[in-house]
Amino acid sequence: AITQIGTECAVILYFRKDIGRIIGAWFKSLTSREARADHDAKMGWLVIVGSIPIGVLGITFQDQIEGPFRDLRLIATTLVVMGLVLGFA
C-alpha cells in the first residue's frame, strides 16, 4: 500500500475538481429527487456500489491476502515484472 500513496495523491490532486463536484452532487441527491438525475450524482452512486464487492472480497479473504502475499521477494518480483510489462506496452 505504501508504494501507491504517491500515485493516489497525484490522481486525487489532478481530479480534485471532478471529485469535489461528484461528492457535492451525491450529497444533493440524498435530499432532492431532481438532483438524482444528475450525471455526477449517478457517478457518486456508481463509485459506492462498485466499491462494495471489493470490500466484501477483502474482508472475506483477509487471512489469505495478509499471509503469503506479504513476502517482500514476491512483492519486489511482481513490481519489476509489471514495470517491464508496462514498459513494453
Q: pLDDT tens across 6-42, in order?
A: 889 999 999 999 999 999 999 999 999 888 899 999 9
Cα 25 to Cα 33: distance, rounded to the nearest angstrom: 12
Q: What is the pTM of this model?
A: 0.69
C-alpha cell at 52: 462494495
In the chain, the number of structural domains is 1
Cα 35 to Cα 40: distance, rounded to the nearest angstrom: 9
Which structural domain, as residue segments, surrounds residue 22? 2-88
Q: pLDDT tens across 53-75, in order?
A: 999 999 999 888 787 778 889 88
